[in-house]
Structure 1
């Protein structure tokens, strides 16, 4: 398969994911804009609640990301039983995780609000508790949407999740003023508007699942194959569900760990930056939000590489090295564009976020020093998709955890240089992570692992319900 075809398919898969990720951030911004009319306490409450939701995203990534890879691999193998098993595994995990988070979060909403606000009382604590009383039970909808998106992406459809995210944002934009100001519900109104908007998008997502041709054909083929085996399959159904969930968890857990480790490292870095000064902390926070525009492009490319790699491996074709070269080309170009943009427009970016004086100056300096780190980050994150799609994500998660620990140690040691020292620490730690992933990439020169991957897919997915007679040879 030619390089141009790989590159074209990666871009086709990645750009809707990028718009979807941007839409997710926009939802939080819309809420912040409307609750800003209620005062600083309301803004603080919604801000910390949004951060908690971002952290909880790492929990459901176990189901969403694992389902994406397994569905993509089954699609490539043209194995309807494997695809049905992958979808089922994602929903079983959702059913196991959601009650713990939604019910447990609701019962612990006040201690959680106190924790994320640093123990401060006052209006912010009460408002955050009010927001959590709606948002945490509503996390069930957010989690279900993530699973629906994972299934669709695994089936090769990244555009529908993008459309669903845009739909949810449009509804939030219209419902926020109605519930926050019109019905005078305050921050609770923001939470209600968000949950209702996501619920409508989720319903549309279920309709999209039903209409998806790949999923519908796979379901029909799997049901036909199992029709004559229903009597003997019934006693093993519970065991099969458990096996489906374990496979999805084993596939998605390393990706979830990678995401959580990187988020936790970014939050921990705030404490190191605080040693420099208050203005630097504010600048770091604003600049980090500005970076989302670039880093989300890296993560979109990562998802595209994961889907593409898993699909081709399922089809019996080991194209990891070819995909990796195109991913590096695209990621390097994106990172270089980010570097040049930050060098040229750092001060204007800070002003666009409303910063002035010392904060604006510190933020502009930070953004201008951040370029080398972003180039390395782009390559590391995007290349990670190749290893996620091929089942090597546990090693990738270990690299990330070690890299974040090294970054914090270096940042502490170099904090005397100010924000440029922080940027240097981030770049050095990321350079070592890139060296580690480059070593993993060189190992793909070994004989193709296609036979192993496909045999593993057969034995681990189709055995619980019996072999699928409809499976075509690869």
Structure 2
């Protein structure tokens, strides 16, 4: 019965998160669809800008993920002081990070656009125009991430899902009005994105206010600094894990480029198609992180049981994705408009990537248990080592084409899974979890 209860909790938490994550991917696709009507330079500008934004998401994960875990643990312990500390720490970290990223990005928008797109054509100027709006607007994006972190930590994953759907709905309506109706072009896509997210943020803040999660008394400057450090200590390994994985994916493109241009195009399309599957894996990860942290806060040292339920759940998702891609790879490539050698290369890649997806699903899901139990730093080291191995394997096996790249990805992920599984089994001491918020024992103690 206990296992069934854990499984049901994971599913109930993960399903809304999956919809939310897919909605985030869809926002970029909506902008790409409307930008495509403006020409190739506009498509390139929006594609680069959204990729940069995805990378910058890793920065605020320090606040968002750290807040989620700390709020979940405080909720489990029914500790009002710890809950106040978690909420304050998330907002303090947002206030520290946001001006640096927003102002720095705005000032560096033109060099950044040229770095990504070169000096030829109109694409760099279009990307710079997009950045001029989107990078200051990152403040809204970051604030929404903190709001989502608080809500998820409190056990509510449905409200963040609704907020993401609201933002996407507004972007879908505003894009044609601003891009073509007001003739703002690429800038219109950036404005619609910021406006959609602003509306969602306003609704999210309202939800927090109703639950009294914003009406928290301060504790002075010293207490605020301590809260900030606590959230940073909890969230930094999770942010590092994301950034390392994103950087590894970008570096892998350079390895694929050695094979050929068609293979690069095929790899790019295939990885976008795989988002539908990988978002499901990350949904299970977030659910496992929230559930584990909540249980530990309540004095229930059951992270092992959570892991035992998260692994088969994610494994089934990975197996399902592998089978679906195996049978529909050709139609997926056609759906993205690929033809000729690009379609052939992409179809082959999607048919070979199944073992990697199954292993990736298991590793990501187990990572949620590490995060929720305060051992994300260990996981980040495994991710870093696995990413280095992946690039080394891919370089050595690139002579086999995209199937060789798939094999390299699967081999490196197998090593990461083995390392994570071994660490999960060896951490047997009850209550042996890393301290929350800078190692304060009162924040991490598991009561018998």
**With structure 2 as the length reference, what TM-score do the two structures score?**
0.96
Aligned to 1:295: 278
203-212 or 427-436, larger mean C-alpha shift: 203-212
Aligned to 2:144: 145
Q: 1:439 aligns with which of 401, 405, 422?
A: 422
Superposition map of 1:21-420 within 5 A: 21-117=21-117, 119-212=118-211, 215=213, 237-420=220-403
Kindly state the Cα deviation for residue 456 of structure 1 after the two structures are TM-superposed: 6.1
Kindly state the Cα deviation for residue 44 of structure 1 after the two structures are TM-superposed: 0.5
Question: For the Cα contact (< 8 Å) 1:321–1:444, is it kept in 2?
Answer: no
Query: Structure 1 CA distance, aligned partners of 2:422 and 2:145?
Result: 32
Any idea what SS the aligned residue of 2:183 has?
coil
Query: Structure 1 CA distance, aligned partners of 2:408 and 2:262?
Result: 20
Distance 1:451 1:64, change over 3 A: closer
Kindly state the Cα deviation for residue 447 of structure 1 after the two structures are TM-superposed: 3.0
Question: For the Cα contact (< 8 Å) 2:229–2:437, is it kept in 1?
Answer: no
For residues 130-187 of structure 1, give each alpha carbon's deviation from its aligned partner in whole angstroms, at most 9, with x where no partner exists: 1001000000000000000000000000000000000000000000011000000101
Kindly state the Cα deviation for residue 85 of structure 1 after the two structures are TM-superposed: 0.4
Larger radius of gyration between Structure 1 and Structure 2:
1
Any idea what SS the aligned residue of 2:427 has?
helix
For residues 73-124 of structure 1, give each alpha carbon's deviation from its aligned partner in whole angstroms, at most 9, with x where no partner exists: 000000001001000000000000000010111111100111121x232200
Instruction: Establish whether residue 459 from structure 1 lines up as the match of residue 442 from structure 2.
Output: yes
Query: Structure 2 CA distance, aligned partners of 1:281 and 1:33?
Result: 21
For residues 275-319 of structure 1, give each alpha carbon's deviation from its aligned partner in whole angstroms, at most 9, with x where no partner exists: 111111100000000000000000000000000000000000011
Kindly state the Cα deviation for residue 402 of structure 1 after the two structures are TM-superposed: 0.6
Question: For the Cα contact (< 8 Å) 1:287–1:363, is it kept in 2?
Answer: yes
Any idea what SS the aligned residue of 2:411 has?
helix
Query: Structure 1 CA distance, aligned partners of 2:437 and 2:143?
Result: 29
Any idea what SS the aligned residue of 1:328 has?
helix
Query: Structure 1 CA distance, aligned partners of 2:65 and 2:357?
Result: 24
**With structure 1 as the length reference, what TM-score do the two structures score?**
0.91
Question: For the Cα contact (< 8 Å) 2:375–2:434, is it kept in 1?
Answer: no
Distance 1:40 1:195, change over 3 A: same
Question: For the Cα contact (< 8 Å) 2:227–2:437, is it kept in 1?
Answer: no
Query: Structure 1 CA distance, aligned partners of 2:305 and 2:386?
Result: 26
Distance 1:137 1:440, change over 3 A: same
Any idea what SS the aligned residue of 1:299 has?
helix
Query: Structure 1 CA distance, aligned partners of 2:45 and 2:426?
Result: 48
Query: Structure 1 CA distance, aligned partners of 2:80 and 2:433?
Result: 19
Distance 1:391 1:170, change over 3 A: same
Question: For the Cα contact (< 8 Å) 2:231–2:437, is it kept in 1?
Answer: no
Query: Structure 2 CA distance, aligned partners of 1:47 and 1:312?
Result: 41
Question: For the Cα contact (< 8 Å) 2:229–2:438, is it kept in 1?
Answer: no
Query: Structure 2 CA distance, aligned partners of 1:305 and 1:289?
Result: 25
Question: For the Cα contact (< 8 Å) 1:313–1:454, is it kept in 2?
Answer: no
Kindly state the Cα deviation for residue 211 of structure 1 after the two structures are TM-superposed: 1.9
Question: For the Cα contact (< 8 Å) 1:316–1:451, is it kept in 2?
Answer: no
Query: Structure 1 CA distance, aligned partners of 2:26 and 2:369?
Result: 28
Any idea what SS the aligned residue of 2:155 has?
coil
RMSD between aligned alpha carbons? 1.9
Kindly state the Cα deviation for residue 451 of structure 1 after the two structures are TM-superposed: 11
Q: 1:423 aligns with which of 406, 414, 418?
A: 406
Question: For the Cα contact (< 8 Å) 2:15–2:283, is it kept in 1?
Answer: yes
Query: Structure 2 CA distance, aligned partners of 1:102 and 1:454?
Result: 26
Distance 1:331 1:192, change over 3 A: same
Distance 1:296 1:31, change over 3 A: same
Query: Structure 2 CA distance, aligned partners of 1:451 and 1:136?
Result: 35
